[in-house]
Copies of this chain bind each other. A is one copy, B any other.
Amino acid sequence: MIPNSPHWLWYPGDFELYHAMKQNFSRVERGCSWPAFWKSDAFRNRVVFRRIYNLPEETTFYVTGVAGSVGYVQLDEEKHPFGVLIFASPGSHRISIHIGCIGCVPSVYVSGEMIRSDEGWMVEDYASSPVPAAYNRYYTDVSRDPSEWVFSETVYEPVSVEELEGGVLYTFETELTAVLEVIGPGCPVVYLGESRSEALDTQNCYFFCRPDEVTHRCPRQAMRYAYLPDVRAKDYSVRAIHQYTDIPRRAFFTCDDEELNRIFEVAAHTFSLCSGCFFLDGIKRDKWIWGGDAYQSLFVNRYLTADAEIEKRTLLALRGNDPVTTHVNTILDYSLLWIISLGVFHESYGDESFLRDIYPKARSLMELCLSQRDENGFLIGRERDWVFVDWADFDRDGPLCAEQMLFAEALRVLASFAPDIEQQTWLSLRSELLKKIDLHFWDDGKCAYVDSFCSGKRHVTRHANIFAILFNIADDSRRHLLAKSVLFNDDIPSISTPYFRFFELEALCRLGYLDKVLQEIKAYWGGMLRLGAVTFWEEYDPSKPLEQQYEMYGDPFGKSLCHAWAASPIYLLVRYFVGLRPLTPGGETFEADVQAQFFRKLDCTFPMGQKQVHICLQDGKVSVESKPYTI
């Protein structure tokens, strides 16, 4: 994509690091700000943009630096300040724009007929080789400040206004990420809730605030309900200004099962709310960019918006700068998932240039991992690393099997886009590792991979076995054994988190247990709908009534009611039931292997890279059409 109009330019990744910090520092919990607890890599503060022009005629240009920056423009030997019209004579000219900025990303905008900030500028950071300057589609206007993320706005009026317990409860039709505007006398305290119960519980409510005296607005916050105690409805006018990132939705799913249709819609709404500048885990909590959550979002996003840009922003935000010293979100497995994510991204978009640019960061992250191998070559955590995998009772004595599965897959993915000369290194490491995994972790008697070979307990959890299925580490015959010995074995503790449940459901799909998966989708996600959910939750326990669903982490309203990973039915339905998948990176060729046994009718549209695919099933007949996507 070569922009014709000028864009704001910055050093690749710096925009993402800056906005990631803003995002990761934005969580608020009962008046306490809670900045994310990992190393937040900083953007560069001093860069220089360079370009050589060969001008057919005289021209002028004008350079704007981002607010708070200092710098100058050098045209050949002449220096000019920012913000003045500069004349350039015909002929060859060397232009450099020097900029420093402490508080935000040093970004420049060049306006002019011939000399402008479009494709072709290089940028240097005084530590590494020049690279092409970066930009994005949201910042084409010089008056748009790249330090502020761009939200679109829609105004929502409340669908109900109730006088309750001496105050007023405002209900909106669905969950929003909104700035609440409260017009009326004074600045009454506002209690916001994802649930009605939360807004009314002024003690335990997650978020409260007073509207600003001048603007009458509250900070942007996840909410469906707003409660104002001690006021009368007639005195106030309240509305919600929903602020969202406008990423066009490209997927529409209609089948003969209304429940599935509704699940798809609510999942799409949930996912859209969680897609801002980056993929977030949830919109009320944590509002952080987590590598594991983002990994799962890639699968959903491929089939819902196919917007490569949010994926690139998220991947850049997660990874930080070189030299790398800490793991993604401090979590060893998230570093591996980050590398694996690049493979998922590649499959979705076939964007070779992004992979080429990011390869050095993938390699150095892998090198950090390689520096943490034990005497068998297995990956182990360092003192400050978090070896997570999942909230589960693993036997954590020595290297953990699930971690090694991710390690093997990360090596495979890295090899898949490494320069030819480095491919073999990664593949050899992988095949060595696979042998060791087999030798140490596979238990013939249990027909399963055990967590640990050090303790002698031979303890089996589902996790490593699920990864072995998903990443084709277990061969075909072993995969089918694992269904019985692990997946359908009630003696193995069941997966307790929806995060890992996604991996398990996909493993079941891979093994052909679609019946079982569909049943689960309708029970679990359908169950939330039956309780009135308008967005899907971080977690759901079918055995509990609605009023007991909000508690989590020991907090009565701790649960996020709008959580990205809960949108996974989109992926599962499209990938395995509609059967749509790219056969080549970017989906230039693709397959639609519709599992007609599950539907009487289908009328669906999904993105496949640059194409829109229309799939119908009617009277037992499947039709598949594709055409280029245009906005």
- Bound together, the chains give a CA A22 to CA B103 distance in angstroms of 11
CB of B99 within 8 A of CB of A39, answer no
Q: Could you tell me the distance in whole angstroms from the C-beta of A430 to the nearest C-beta in chain B? A: 27
Given A29-B79, A32-B79, A80-B32, the answer on whether A325 and B37 have CB atoms closer than 8 Å is no
Could you tell me the distance between the alpha carbons of A330 and B104 in the complex, rounded to whole angstroms?
23
| CB-based contact B102/A18 at 8 Å | yes
For A82, what are the chain B residues with a Cβ–Cβ distance below 8 Å?
Answer: 33
Are B103 and A102 touching (Cβ within 8 A)?
A: yes
Query: How far apart are A503's CB and chain B's nearest CB, in angstroms?
Result: 27
Q: How many angstroms from the CA of A80 to the CA of B32 in the assembled complex?
A: 6
Cross-chain contact A127 with B39 (CB below 8 angstroms): yes
Residue in chain B with minimal CB distance to A43: B42
Please encode chain A, from 80 to 107, with 1 for each CB lying within 8 Å of some chain B CB and 0 for all others.
Answer: 1110000000000000001110111000
Considering only CB atoms, which chain B residue lies closest to A99 in the complex?
B35
Is A137 part of the binding interface, using a Cβ–Cβ cutoff of 8 Å?
A: no
Query: Which listed residue, B81, B100, B330, B384, touches A40 by the CB 8 Å rule?
Result: B100
Contact string against B for A residues 384-402, beta-carbon threshold 8 Å, 1 for contact and 0 otherwise: 1000000000000000000
**A151 interface residue per 8 A CB criterion:** no
Contact B325 A98 (CB under 8 A): no
**With an 8 A cutoff between CB atoms, is A72 at the interface?**
yes
Bound-state Cα–Cα, A21 to B29, Å: 34
* Residues in B whose Cβ lies below 8 Å from that of A35: 46, 70-71, 98-100
Known: A22-B102, A326-B127. Contact between A39 and B29, CB under 8 A? no
Interface residues of A in 26-44 (CB under 8 A from B): 29-40, 42-44
Question: Is A323 part of the contact surface with B, judged by Cβ < 8 Å?
Answer: yes
Residues of B within 8 A of A39 (CB): 44, 46, 125-127
Give the residues from 500 to 521 in chain A that come closer than 8 angstroms, CB to CB, to chain B.
none
Q: Which of B46, B323, B326 is close to A38, meaning CB atoms less than 8 Å apart?
A: B46
Residue-wise interface mask of A (37-64) relative to B, using a CB-CB cutoff of 8 A (1 in contact, 0 not): 1111011111010000000000000000
CB-CB < 8 A to A22: which residues of B?
Answer: 102
Separation of A18 and B102 alpha carbons in the complex (Å)? 8
* Contacts A103-B102, A103-B104 given; does A40 touch B33 at CB 8 Å: no
CA distance A384 to B128 in the complex (A): 8
Which residues in B have their C-beta under 8 angstroms from that of A104? 102-103
Q: Is the CB of A36 within 8 A of B32?
A: no
CA A46 – CA B42 in complex, angstroms?
10
Q: Which residues of B contact A34 (CB under 8 A)?
A: 70-72, 79, 98
A139 within 8 A of partner (CB): no
A32 and B126 within 8 A (CB): no
From the candidates B38, B72, B125, B330, name the one contacting A33 in the complex (CB within 8 A): B72
Residues on B with beta carbons closer than 8 Å to the beta carbon of A43 = 42
Task: List chain B residues, Cβ under 8 A from A98.
Answer: 34-35, 37
Chain B CB count within 10 A is highest, among A21, A38, A42, for: A42
Question: In the complex, A36→B46 CA distance in Å?
Answer: 8
Is A25 in the interface zone, CB < 8 Å from B? yes
In Å, the complex CA distance between A37 and B125 comes to: 9
- Residues on B with C-beta less than 8 A from A384 are 126-127
Chain B nearest CB from A148 CB (Å) reads: 13
Complex Cα distance, B99 from A42, in Å, reads 15
Q: Which one of B21, B31, B45, B103 contacts A81 once the chains associate, using CB atoms below 8 Å? A: B31
Q: Collect the chain B residues with CB atoms within 8 Å of residue A71's CB.
A: 33-35
Map CB proximity to B onto A97-135 as digits: 1 under 8 Å, 0 otherwise.
011101110000000000000000000011110000000
Q: For residue A19, which residue of chain B has the nearest CB?
A: B102
Closest residue on chain B to residue A25 by CB atoms: B100
Task: Please name all residues of chain B whose beta carbon is closer than 8 Å to the beta carbon of A21 when the two chains form the complex.
Answer: 45-46, 100, 102
With contacts A18-B102, A42-B45, A46-B38 taken as known, whether A81 is within 8 angstroms of B126 at the C-beta atoms is no
Given A18-B102, A100-B25, verify A48-B42 contact (CB < 8 Å): no
Task: State whether A126 touches B46 (Cβ < 8 A).
Answer: no
Chain B residue contacts of A79, Cβ below 8 A: 29-30, 32, 34
Contact B81 A33 (CB under 8 A): yes
Q: Note all chain B residues with C-beta closer than 8 A to A32.
A: 72, 79-81
Option from B33, B38, B81 in Cβ contact (under 8 Å) with A70: B33
Q: Closest CB of chain B to A625's CB: distance in Å?
A: 48
Query: Most chain-B Cβ atoms within 10 A of its Cβ — which of A22, A40, A102?
Result: A102
A483: min CB distance to chain B, Å: 41
Assembled-state Cα–Cα distance A30/B103 (Å): 24
Q: CA of A71 to CA of B29 in the docked complex: distance in angstroms?
A: 11
- 22 A-B contacts (beta carbon < 8 Å): A21-B100, A21-B102, A25-B46, A25-B70, A31-B81, A33-B72, A33-B81, A33-B82, A33-B100, A34-B70, A34-B72, A35-B99, A35-B100, A38-B46, A39-B44, A39-B126, A42-B42, A42-B43, A102-B104, A126-B326, A127-B384, A323-B323
- Give me the interface of A with B, judged by CB distance under 8 Å: 18, 21-22, 24-25, 29-40, 42-46, 48, 70-72, 79-82, 98-100, 102-104, 125-128, 323, 325-326, 330, 384
- Further 15 A-B residue pairs, CB within 8 A, beyond A25-B102, A34-B79, A39-B125: A21-B45, A21-B102, A24-B100, A31-B81, A33-B81, A34-B98, A37-B46, A37-B126, A39-B126, A39-B127, A40-B46, A102-B104, A127-B325, A127-B326, A128-B325
The 8 closest A-B pairs by CB, nearest first: A35-B100, A33-B70, A103-B103, A42-B42, A32-B72, A323-B323, A39-B126, A25-B100
